[in-house]
């Protein structure tokens, strides 16, 4: 890992996590950790360029087919790849196929950039995700093996206490809040060798009084109606929230500080 590096470009590849959900901006778009990271890197490097090919809901096969070749051709200094988690949350999941596709993605991207960044994605605690946890951990073991083989960085978000805290997750319980994304940006920033701005990004917020029983039940009902049932419906019918949606930032262009607003 470099110390005080000078990267000139960043390409982000992935799904809703990298698109930035649920770090909502006033205009209805999403910011997210990759945009925050790009803004920091651009502040240090004049002419810094950034592309974000991520689209919510994408499976690893779609990421390989639609994003990986495009990202590899851009010749960026840094490429981030986070994918496969959506596959593990499907009712049926062929983990051998998922790991094979992730391997294909890494084998294309690692030689195409100066530094490939992989992640062990953050995981909120809760009963809905608990049944999928063995698959998630199998995916993360594959990430570690690929990183060792291809000299990629691994940012361990899964093991960060802060990112398992429910307060850093949106009401849909699947996407991070703005504070969660800020902490992820800090984690990647430090992994790339930049001086820490928040050395305690991984530390959970101070304890707070838990909501009462009635408030929890109301929140559970709202979550089930507004988020869980539609999510299950899409899984069962093979639909995705990203169907027909273009890449967030499809070209590797100079990142202006106005872009961070």
Residue 87 burial class via C-beta count within 10 angstroms: exposed 0-12, middle 13-18, buried 19 and up: buried
Least confident of 3-17, 116-130, 136-150, 211-225: 211-225
| Residue whose tokens read 């950790």 | 33
pLDDT in tens, 211-259: 666 555 655 556 566 545 555 565 555 655 666 789 999 999 999 866 6
Residue 88's pLDDT is 93
Residue 126's pLDDT is 64
Residue 6 burial class via C-beta count within 10 angstroms: exposed 0-12, middle 13-18, buried 19 and up: exposed
Model confidence pTM above 0.75: yes
Q: Which of 156, 185, 183, 149 is nearest to 168 (CA)?
A: 183
Q: Which of 163, 170, 142 is nearest to 154 (CA)?
A: 142
Distances (CA, A) of 66 to 50, 58, 71, 118: 18, 10, 9, 18
Cα gap 188→154, rounded to integer Å: 9
Structure tokens at 15: 């799904």
Cα gap 85→59, rounded to integer Å: 8
Cα gap 42→84, rounded to integer Å: 29
pLDDT in tens, 34-60: 999 999 999 999 999 999 999 999 999
- Whether 70 has a pLDDT exceeding 80, the answer reads yes
Between 117 and 214, name the one with better pLDDT: 117
Q: Which of 48, 45, 44, 49 is nearest to 197 (CA)?
A: 44
Distances (CA, A) of 244 to 86, 88, 250: 17, 22, 14
User: Which DSSP string corresponds to 82-94?
Assistant: E-SHHHHTSSS--
Cα gap 96→53, rounded to integer Å: 25
Number of neighbouring beta carbons within 10 Å of residue 260: 15
Q: What is the DSSP letter of 127?
A: H
Residue 235's pLDDT is 57
Cα gap 53→15, rounded to integer Å: 9
Residue 258's pLDDT is 63
């Amino acid at each position: 890992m470099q110390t005080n590096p000078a990267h000139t470009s960043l390409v982000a590849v992935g799904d809703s996590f990298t698109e930035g959900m649920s770090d909502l901006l006033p205009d209805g778009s999403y910011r997210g950790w990759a945009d925050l990271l790009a803004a920091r890197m651009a502040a240090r490097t004049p002419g810094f360029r950034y592309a974000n090919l991520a689209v919510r809901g994408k499976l690893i096969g779609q990421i390989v087919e639609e994003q990986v070749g495009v990202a590899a051709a851009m010749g960026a200094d840094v490429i981030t790849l986070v994918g496969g988690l959506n596959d593990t949350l499907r009712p049926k999941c062929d983990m051998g196929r998922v790991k094979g596709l992730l391997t294909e993605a890494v084998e294309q991207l690692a030689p195409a950039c100066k530094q490939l960044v992989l992640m062990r994605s953050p995981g909120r605690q809760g009963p809905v995700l608990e049944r999928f946890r063995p698959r998630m951990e199998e995916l993360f073991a594959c990430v570690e093996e690929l990183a060792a083989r291809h000299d990629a960085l691994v940012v361990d978000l899964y093991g960060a206490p802060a990112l398992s805290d429910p307060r850093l997750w949106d009401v849909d319980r699947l996407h991070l809040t703005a504070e969660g994304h800020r902490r992820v940006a800090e984690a990647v920033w430090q992994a790339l060798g930049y001086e820490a701005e928040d050395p305690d990004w991984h530390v959970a917020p101070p304890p707070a009084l838990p909501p009462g029983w009635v408030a929890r039940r109301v929140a559970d009902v709202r979550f089930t109606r507004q988020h869980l049932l539609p999510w299950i419906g899409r899984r069962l019918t093979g639909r995705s929230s990203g169907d027909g949606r273009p890449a967030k930032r499809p070209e590797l262009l100079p990142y202006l500080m106005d872009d961070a607003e």
